A and B are shown apart, each in its own frame.
Chain A
C-alpha cells in the first residue's frame, strides 16, 4: 500500500511527463482496440455468413470433402433421414440445433440452348425453407442481414443461379440483373459440333419458339447409372456469390427435384447434412453428441463431421491473416510503449537519484526500490490501458453511429461498418494485460538500475 501510494504520488509529481506517457499508451491501446474491433467484425461477419450458408457442422462421407467434387453423388449418404431423426431424438442436440438439413451436391452442365450457350455447373439441392431459416442466424447481433433465398415457396422446377452463371447463359436481361452487359461481339455458334446424344436431349427439352420462357434453362446431370439426364428449370433469381469462380458455376435447386434427376426411383441420398447450432461455442458438445449417432450410421458407410472452419479454408486464412496483422500492429505499438515508458522511468531514476539514496540510507532494501519503480510502470500501464479502453469505446461508438458502409471479404453487398470494442472481453483484457506487462517490463530495467545504485553515489548525485 505504501509503495503504491508513493508510486502514485511520484507519477503525479511530474504531471506533464506522466500525462504525455499516458497519452502515448492510451493512443497505442486505442489503436490496438479499434483495429482489433474491426478485425473482430470481419471475423464475425465471415463466420456468420459461412454458418448461415453451410451450418456449423456437416456430416459427410469421410472422403467427400477432399474427393467429392469429382463425383459428388458417388459419396451420398444413403440413410440420411435416419441420421436426421437421431439428431432430433437426442435431447441435448435438439436443444442446441437450430437447423439440421440435408443437401445434395451435384455437377453437370447448364445450357440456354435458345441462346446457344452452356457451361459446367456445380449445384446444390436444398430444402429451401431450411436454407432461409439458416440465414436468420445472427448470434453476434450484426447489423448486416443475409438475403433470403428466392427458392423458398417457389415451384419445384425453380432454380437460383450465380450472377456469373446468369451472365454466361445470357439471362441478365430476363432476370433484370444490373451491371450485366451483353458481350460486345456475338460468340461464334458451335451447335453443329454438339454430340448427337446431347443434341437429341436438347431437342426433346427445347420448347417451341412460341412457348419460349427466357428464364428457362436445361440442366444436364449424370444419374447414378452413369446415364445423362436432363431437366428444364426456371431460373427465378441470380445471386452474386462473392467470388467470381463460384459465381460462374453455382446453381441451387430444390432437393427433391435434383434427387429425382439423379436417383430416379432409387432411394435418394444426400451428400451432406448441414447442422446449424445456436452458438458457435456449442461445437465441441455437439461433436460429442454426434459421435455415437455417426458410429451407428457408419456401419455401411464411413462418415465424418466437419466444422465450418474446415469447410471454409478461406475464412480461416482470412482470420489468420488479420490476426497476424493484429499481432504485428500490437508488437509495433508495444515497442513504442516500451520505449516511451522506459524513457519516462529512466528520466525519473536520474531525477530522483538523491531520493533513492535517501530511501536506501533510511533502510529501504534494493528490492523496495525496484518495487517502487516497477509499481510506477505498472500504474502507468493500468491507467494508460484504461484510458485507451475509454477512448476506443467512445471512438467505436462514434464510428458505429456514422453509418459508414463497406464490403467485407466475399460479400457482394455493402454492410454497415461496426467496430466491436465494448463487450469484446477477451480482446479488452488481453490488450490491457499485454500493455501492463510491457509497462512493467519497460520499468524493470530502470528499476533494476535504481536499485543497483550505490547509496553514497546516489546521495552525492547533483
Chain B
C-alpha cells in the first residue's frame, strides 16, 4: 500500500519513513510473515498509534522503527538516516541519540535510583556531570518526580515507574519515542495521566511519539492511527493537523 499519510508534504521532514518493508519470523521451521510490504510515513511531533489485534504486527513494526530489529526487505529511514546501512555499534549509537523507548513493563534498571535511571543514557553519551545534573533535574521536575530522585524503582508505584521511563526516554532529546503498550500495566486513571504527560512532553520537547496499543484512550488521544491486520496496513488515518486518506 502507498504511504498515504503525508507522502506529499512530509517525506523530507518525516520522523520515520518505511519503504516496502517486510519481515518474516521463523516459528520452528515454519515461516510466519509478520509484516508485508509496508510503506509508511510518520509525521514529526505527532502522537502516532499502531493499532490492531494481537499478532497483527504492531510490535514488529515498532521494533523496526525503533531500530532494534531489521527488516528482511525494504528500507527504513529514521530522522533522515537510512538505518539499514548502519553497523550494529552505529545502530546502538543511533538509538542512544535519536530514539527513546518506553516499555509496557517500564524496564527500569532495578539497581539504579530514579535519578540514575534517567541519567544513564547521558552517561552512555559521555555527558559532563553538569550537563547530566541539569538535564535530569529538569526532566524529573517535568514528570513530577523530583522528590523521588533517590528512590529505587522497587519503591515506586507503576505510574511513577512509567514516568521515570518517560523521563529516561527523553533524556537525550530524541526525535522519536517508541512506546510499546505504555499504559497496559497501569490502571485507567494512571494510564490517562501518563498519556497526558506524554502529550505534554511531546509538545514541550517537540518529539514524535509512536505507540502500539489496544487501549481505546490511547487510540483516542492519537493524532495519527495506523491499523494493522495480518502484517498489512489497513487504514492509515489522520485525526488532526493533516488530511485523512
Interface residues of A (CB under 8 A from B): 2, 6, 9-10, 12-13, 354-355, 357-368, 455-456, 459
Contacts and interface: CB of A to CB of B under 8 A. Distances in A.
B110 interface: yes
A364 B124 contact: yes
B69 interface: yes
Given A10-B111, A362-B95, A456 B69 contact: yes
A446 to B, nearest CB: 18
A204 B110 CA distance: 100
B123 A362 contact: no
Given A363-B121, A365-B88, 16 more contacts: A6-B109, A9-B112, A13-B111, A355-B109, A355-B110, A358-B101, A358-B103, A359-B109, A361-B68, A362-B95, A362-B96, A362-B120, A363-B96, A363-B124, A364-B124, A367-B89
Interface string B175-218: 00000000000000000000000000000000000000000000
Q: Report which residue of B92, B93, B110 has the largest number of chain A beta carbons within 10 angstroms of its beta carbon.
A: B92
A84 to B, nearest CB: 70
B109 A365 contact: no
B151 interface: no
Contacts of A367: 89
Given A360-B68, A363-B121, A459 B95 contact: no
Given A10-B111, A456-B68, A456-B69, A365 B92 contact: yes
B111 A362 contact: no
A2 B123 contact: yes
A10 B105 CA distance: 20
Contacts of B88: 365-366
B113 to A, nearest CB: 10
Contact of B103 (A13, A363, A364, A459): A459
Nearest to A458: B68
Contact of A6 (B92, B105, B107, B111): B111
Contacts of A358: 101, 103, 107, 109
Nearest to A10: B111
Query: SS class of chain A's interface: helix, strand, loop or mixed?
Result: helix
A354 B69 CA distance: 15
A365 B103 CA distance: 19
A366 to B, nearest CB: 6
Q: At the interface, is chain B mostly helix, strand, loop or mixed? A: helix
A363 B93 contact: yes
Given A362-B168, A363-B95, A456 B63 contact: yes
Contact of A363 (B97, B107, B110): B97
A75 B160 CA distance: 94
Contacts of A359: 109
Contacts of A357: 68, 107
B121 to A, nearest CB: 6
B68 A355 contact: no
B57 interface: no
14 contacts: A10-B111, A13-B111, A354-B105, A357-B68, A357-B107, A358-B103, A360-B68, A361-B101, A362-B120, A362-B124, A363-B93, A363-B97, A365-B89, A456-B63
B167 to A, nearest CB: 12
A415 to B, nearest CB: 53
A455 B107 contact: no
B71 interface: no
Contacts of B93: 363, 365
Given A6-B112, A9-B111, A459-B103, A361 B95 contact: yes
Contacts of A9: 111-112
The 9 closest A-B pairs by CB, nearest first: A363-B96, A9-B111, A455-B68, A358-B107, A365-B92, A2-B123, A456-B69, A361-B101, A363-B95
A237 B69 CA distance: 90
A368 B92 CA distance: 11
Interface in B12-29: none
B92 A360 contact: yes
B97 A361 contact: no
Nearest to B169: A362
Interface string B94-120: 011100010101010111100000001
B66 interface: yes
A16 to B, nearest CB: 16
A326 B111 CA distance: 40
A364 B111 contact: no
B63 A362 contact: no
Nearest to A455: B68
A461 to B, nearest CB: 11
Nearest to A11: B111
B96 A355 contact: no
Central interface residue in B89, B97, B124, B125, by most chain A CB within 10 Å: B124
Nearest to A355: B109
A361 B88 CA distance: 11
Nearest to B94: A363
B10 to A, nearest CB: 26
